[in-house]
Structure 1
Amino acid sequence: MRRPLAGIKVLAVEQYGAGPYATQLMAELGAEVVKIEAPAMGGDVSRATGPFFLGQADSQFFQTFSRSKKSIALDIKTPEGRAAFEDLVAQADMVVDNLRGDQPGKLRLTYDDLKGVNPAIVCGHLSAYGRGNSRAGWPGYDYLMQAEAGLMSLTGEPDAPPARLGVSMVDFMTGTMLAFGVVSALLSARTTGEGCDVDVSLFDVALHQLSYPAVWAMNEGYKVQRLPRGAHPSIAPSQAVKTADGWGLVMCQTPKFWEALCDLAGAAELKADPRFADIPSRHANRPALSEAMDVLFGTRTTAEWTALLGGKVPFAPILEMMDALDNPFVAEVGMRDVVDHPDRAEGLAMLACPVKIDGERMPGARAPKLGEHTDEVLNSIGGAAS
C-alpha cells in the first residue's frame, strides 16, 4: 500500500487531543511519528483519561488520538535528554507541539532554536491562543473557543441556552489545520532547504469556522439567529423534520430538490402553494413551511423516508450514536476497524482513517505503550534514555 508521507520523520511533544489528532493523521498516512513523553509525568496526560483503561498508562481515550505512532520516554529538560532530542532533530523533518503559546520558546522548540541543528526542520506549534500575543500564556480548551468565537451562540434552539457541539470539533479542525500547515511547509523546506515555524491556534481556527455568517455580519451588520430545528439561515426547507417514528433532516438547497421532494412524496398541493413557490417565498414563510413539513413527514417512518428519498433528495435519518455506528453504510465503506492490543484479547474497536489513497483506506495500528520504542529510536542515533 502506498502511503504518501512514508519517509517523513516527525517528533511530537504533545498531549491530550488537538496536537495528537494532527500527528495521528500524519502517522496513518505513513509518517514516522515519535511521541516524546516525559517519564516523570507519566507521559501524555490522556493515558490517564478514563473511564476506560487498557493496562498500565493506557486508555481508550489515548488510543483514539495516538494510533500508529512510536513512543520514547525522554525528558528534554535535562542536559542528557536535550542532547538526545537534538540528535533526533538532526534526522527529523518536523518537530510539532501543542503547548501553551509561551512554552515553545521556553523549551527551545522554535525554528530559531533548532535551525542550527537542522536548517530544514519544520516546527509546528498548536496552542490555545497563539504565540507572541497577550494570551500566549493562557491555557485553553475546545469548549472555551466555541463559547468566545461565537459558535455556541449559533447552536441550539432559539428558546434554549446556547449549546456546544457534541464533540470537540475545534480540536479536530485545529489538528487538521496543523497537519495541513506543516506538510505544506515541508514541501517548501524540501525545495529550499530552509524550514520555518508554523502556528495554528484553537481560537483562530474556531473564529475561522464562522465562515459566511461572519462575512455577512462584518459587511452588512446581519446577525444570523438560531432557528428552530437547526434550520439553514437562508434556505428552506433545510432543517430537522418529525417523522412517524423519529427525526430526519431534509435539505432542499436547490429548486430541483424541492420539486423532487413534492413529486416523490405526492405533495402536489405544497408544490402549487404560492407561499412556497421559490426560495425567497419559502424563506419568508418558514414557520408555515415547517408545520407543513411535519405533517408531510409524519406520514412515514424515518426508514421509509430514507428509502423513498435516498439519492434523489438530500435527506438523512437523525440517529443515536450507536445506531450511526451500526449503519450498514458504515460497514460498506469500511469506516470501522479493529486493531490488535496486548491488553484486549478481542482487539480494540476503532474508527478507521478517513483518508483513502488509490481507493485504499489507510490501515491503523494501536497507540504505543509509554516508552515502548525508546531503545529502538535512541539506539538509532547512538543515544540513551534520560
Structure 2
Amino acid sequence: MRPLEDVRIVALEQYGAGPFGSLHLAQLGADVIKIEDPTAGGDVGRYVPPFNEGEDSLFFESFNRDKRSVSLDVRHPDGRAVLEDLVRHADAVYSNLRGDVPEKLGIRYADLKGVNPRIVCCSLSGFGMTGPRATEPGYDYVLQGLAGWMTLTGDPDGPPEKTGLSLVDYCGGFVAAISLLAGIHAARRDGVGMDCDLSLYDTAISLLTYPATWHLTAGYEPARTRRSAHPSLVPFQVFQAKDGWLVLGCAKEKFWQRLTVVLERPDLAEDARFATFADRHTHREELQLILDDVLSRQPVDHWLPRLRAAAVPCAPVNTVAEALRDPHTLARDLVLETEHPRFGIVKQVASPVRAGDSAPPRQRAPFRGEHTGEVLRDLLGYDDETVHRLITAGAFGTES
C-alpha cells in the first residue's frame, strides 16, 4: 500500500494552488474526490489557454492527475445532502476558495462536525478567514506584490518583477497539504476534527524568512541585487562566461578557496580584501569585476567541468527545455507520461514527494463528473432509483 491509501479527501478546489496541494496527496495514494460545480462548468483550470479545447487543457492536466471528479451543486439542497454523505466517508474537506466562502458554503468544522466529528476542514484562501482582507480574492501575482517579493526580484534598475513561477501558489499548496495531514493525524489520535485556516498571504509573508528577521531585529532594508546576487554571501550569483551564463556559489569558505584554484588566481585567496565572508561582502564590487574578467575569457563548458571537479557549487543557466532533458531529470524519473483521448500522450513533470520505493499509478486528470456514478454507487451505496431522483432534482446540474 502507498502511504495515504487509507485517506479520503473531498476537495472543493480550483485553478492552481488548491489542486497543486492535493496533487501530491494523490501521488501518495490518497483518494482525492474533486467536487466540480456544474453551474460554473467545473474547475476554471479546465479552460486556461493556450493549450485548451472544450473542457480539456494541459494546464488542468498538470494539477489534477490521479484524482476522481464528481459533478455536484453543493448549494442545491439535494447536492448538499450528497456532500454530507461524502463527508461521512472522508477524513478531510479541502478547499481553496475566498476566505469568507467556506462559511457561506457550510464547509467549516462547526458546520460539519455533526456529520462527522473527526472531519478536518482545510481551507486555503488568499488571505485567510480572519483579518481585514478576508473577503478579498487573492492570487499569486497579487500576493507577490503585497508581500514585498517584487522588491527583491529582478535588477535594481528595472521595474518590480514577480518570480518566473507562481511560487506563492505552489508553496501555499504544500503548506495546505502538510496542515491537512497534521489535522488528520490529530483527528485519528483524539477523535476530534478541526479547521485548518491557511492563506497564500501567510505563506508569502512567512517565506520572507531571514531578510524579515534581519529587518525586524536589526533594521536591515532588503533590496534587489544585481545579477541575482545573494544578499550576504560573496561570490554567489550568476556570471557571464564567454558564451553564456553560469551560477556559482561559495556558501562556505572552503568553496572560495577552491574557486581561486580553479580560476588559477591563488593570489585572491591571500588578498586581505577577500579573506572572509565579511571582507568579500565589503569589497563585493571589486571582487565581482575581477571574477567577471576571468570568467568571461572562457566558455561555460570550459568552467563547469573544472568547478565540478573541485566541488564548487555551480550550474549552467539552463532554458526550461534544457532543464527538462537534463540527465539528472531523467534519472530521477521527473518526467512522466499519461494517455489522454484528446491530447494523446501528455508529458509532464512528476511530483517531488516520495515515500518508499514503489512507483505510484499515473492516471490522467479526470473529465468533469467522470466518477460521479462510481462514487455515488460504490462509495455511498446509492441505488439507481436514488441516483435518478437526484439527477431529476438537479443535484448534479442541469447537464447531468
TM-score normalised to the size of structure 2? 0.93
Q: CA RMSD in A?
A: 1.3
Match of 2:276 in 1: 278
Is the 1:13–1:97 Cα contact (8 Å) retained in structure 2?
yes
**Aligned to 1:303, which of 295, 301, 304?**
301
Indicate how the Cα distance of structure 1 residues 102 and 279 shifts in structure 2: closer, same or farther if over 3 A, else same: same
| Corresponding position of 1:178 | 176
Asked if the contact 2:233–2:277 (Cα under 8 Å) also holds between the matched residues in 1, the reply is yes
Partner of 1:24: 23
Q: Name the CA shift for 1:15/1:358 in 2 (closer, same or farther; >3 Å).
A: same
Give yes or no for the alignment of 1:287 onto 2:285.
yes
- Stretches of structure 1 lacking an aligned partner (at least 5 in a row): none
Residue equivalent to 2:398 = none
The answer as to 2:43 corresponding to 1:37 is no
Deviation at 1:361, TM superposition (A): 5.1
Shift of 1:85: 0.7
Give, in whole Å, the separation in 2 of the partners of 1:132 and 1:145: 17
CA distance in 2, matches of 1:276, 1:137: 52
Question: In structure 2, what is the equivalent of residue 197 of structure 1?
Answer: 195
Kindly indicate whether the alpha-carbon contact (under 8 Å) linking 1:229 and 1:240 is maintained by their aligned counterparts in 2: yes
Conserved 8 A contact 2:144-2:162: yes
Cα separation, 2, equivalents of 1:359 and 1:306? 32
After TM superposition, give the deviation of residue 363 of structure 1 in Å. 4.2
Per-residue CA distance 1:100-119 (angstroms, 9 max, x = gap): 00100000000010000000
Aligned: 1:243 with 2:241: yes
The residue aligned with 2:220 is 222
List structure 1 segments (4+ residues) > 6 angstroms apart after TM superposition: none
In structure 2, the residue matched to 1:317 is 316
SS in 2 for 1:357: coil
For residues 166 and 364 of structure 1, the distance between their equivalents in structure 2, rounded to whole angstroms, comes to 27
Number of residue equivalences:
383
Distance 2:359 2:287 in 1: 42
Correspondence for 1:13: 12
Matches within 5 A, 1:60-79: 60-79=58-77
Q: What's 1:261 paired with?
A: 259
Deviations 1:166-192 (A, max 9, x none): 010000000100000010011000011
- The sequence identity of aligned pairs, in percent, is 42
Residues 299 and 358 from structure 1, CA distance in 2 versus in 1: closer, same or farther, beyond 3 angstroms? farther
Equivalents in 2 of 1:255, 1:337: separation in Å?
Answer: 39
User: What SS class does the counterpart of residue 52 from structure 2 fall into?
Assistant: coil
Distance 1:361 1:264, change over 3 A: farther
Corresponding residue for residue 343 of structure 1: 342
Is the 1:125–1:200 Cα contact (8 Å) retained in structure 2?
yes
* Residues 82-121 of structure 1: pairs in structure 2 closer than 5 A: 82-121=80-119
Counterpart CA distance in 2 for 1:318 and 1:171 is: 24
Deviation, 1:344, is 2.7
Q: Deviations over 1:36-79 (max 9, x none)?
A: 0111211000101111025x411000011111100011101111
Which has the larger displacement, 136-145 or 172-181? 136-145
User: Structure 1: how far apart are the matches of 2:27 and 2:142?
Assistant: 29
Task: Give how far 1:296 is off.
Answer: 1.9
Q: TM-score, normalised by structure 1?
A: 0.96
The answer as to whether partners of 1:70 and 1:373 remain within 8 angstroms in 2 is yes
